[in-house]
């Protein structure tokens, strides 16, 4: 059995979010993923983009708002009534497990449990600090991720961490959260970065080829990651395929986000 998972930062309300929404929906519909972690999801009142997309896609959703959206609303005063947060979408019922603000940034970690046909699955959607000099802070933030992985009730499938880490694979924070090139953030915890199976492990998710990124002058980098727990759970998974998506315009010519997403096909060992 194949399980397709993905992570994608939706760029909150920037770049005319209402005009971008059809491109986001078209991209996700074409992706046909089973579990999706989303970051920079906007909300207003009782409405949030993730739940709206889930309704259109025939999926289930949980959303966790940030306790402090000011670093986004200060840049778009016209959307000062909007919040921001992370979400998990799933083909099967999904339940919110935990929500934690990450220190000093307005960013959050959302944990959920998905009831898949092959067993329960602990899934996290994470959004870390974007400061270019924020590696030390991100190291603190990945320790929060690791703590939730080891403290959450065990599930049948190995834990899955999806997110915009704002960090490249060789960084201290990514080495720390993976836990096998340096001492792990939690004793015995290894979260393998699935980019290792990609045809091009360094294919960027933040790229000047994207017209929203080009004006920033930023170099290309792979800062969005899908991590799978090693040696945990009773239903083993094998990584089959890793790719980038959302790296071009939709059929209407609109680019859906400033980030490209990452999609991973996992095979449940021994299941047809």
| Topology (CATH) of 2-268 | Deoxyribonuclease I; Chain A (3.60.10)
Q: Quick one: pLDDT at residue 270?
A: 66
How do the pLDDT tens digits run along the chain, 272 residues long?
999 999 999 999 999 999 999 999 999 999 999 999 999 999 999 999 999 999 999 999 999 999 999 999 999 999 999 999 999 999 999 999 999 999 877 999 999 999 999 999 999 999 999 999 999 999 999 999 999 999 999 999 999 999 999 999 999 999 999 999 999 999 999 999 999 999 999 999 999 999 999 999 999 999 999 999 999 999 999 999 999 999 999 999 999 999 999 999 999 986 54
pLDDT at 103: 84
The predicted pLDDT at position 272 comes to 45
pLDDT tens column, 193-233: 999 999 999 999 999 999 999 999 999 999 999 999 999 99
Secondary structure of the chain as H, E, C letters: CEEEEEEEECCCCCCCHHHHHHHHHHHHHHHCCCEEEEEEEEEECCEEHHHHHHHHHCCEEEEEECCCCHHHHCCCHHHCCCEEEEEEEECCCEEEEEEEEECCCCEEEEEEEEEECCEEEEEEEEECCCCCCCHHHHHHHHHHHHHHHHHCCCCCEEEEEEEECCCCCCCHHHHHHHCCCCCCCCCCCCEEEHHHHCCCCCCCCECCCCCCCHHHCCCCECCEEEEEECCCCCCCEEEEEEEEECCCCCCCCCCCCCCCEEEEEEEECCCC
- pLDDT for the residue 182: 95
- Domain spans of the chain, in order of start: 2-268
């Amino acid at each position: 059995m194949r399980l397709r998972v993905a992570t994608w930062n939706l760029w909150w309300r920037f770049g005319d979010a209402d005009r971008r929404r059809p491109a986001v929906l078209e991209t996700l519909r074409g992706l046909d993923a089973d579990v999706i972690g989303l970051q920079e999801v906007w909300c207003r009142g009782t409405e949030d983009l993730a739940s709206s997309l889930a309704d259109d896609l025939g999926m289930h959703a949980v959303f966790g708002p940030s306790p402090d959206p000011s670093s986004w609303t200060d840049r778009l005063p016209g959307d000062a009534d909007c919040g921001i947060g992370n979400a998990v979408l799933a083909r099967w019922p999904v339940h919110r497990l935990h929500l934690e603000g990450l220190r000093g940034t307005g960013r959050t970690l959302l944990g959920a449990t998905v009831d898949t046909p092959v067993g329960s699955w602990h899934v996290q959607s994470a959004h870390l600090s974007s400061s270019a000099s924020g590696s030390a802070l991100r190291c603190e933030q990945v320790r929060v991720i690791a703590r939730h992985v080891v403290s959450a009730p065990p599930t049948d499938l190995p834990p899955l961490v999806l997110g915009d880490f704002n960090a490249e694979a060789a960084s201290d924070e990514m080495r720390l959260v993976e836990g096998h090139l340096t001492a792990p953030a939690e004793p015995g915890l290894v979260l393998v970065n699935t980019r290792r199976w990609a045809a091009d492990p360094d294919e960027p998710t933040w790229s000047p080829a994207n017209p929203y990124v080009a004006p920033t002058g930023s170099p290309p980098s792979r800062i969005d990651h899908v991590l799978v727990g090693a040696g945990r759970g009773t239903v083993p998974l094998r990584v089959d395929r890793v790719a980038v998506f959302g790296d071009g315009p939709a059929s209407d010519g609109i680019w859906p986000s400033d980030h490209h997403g990452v999609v991973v096909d996992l095979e449940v060992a021994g299941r047809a």
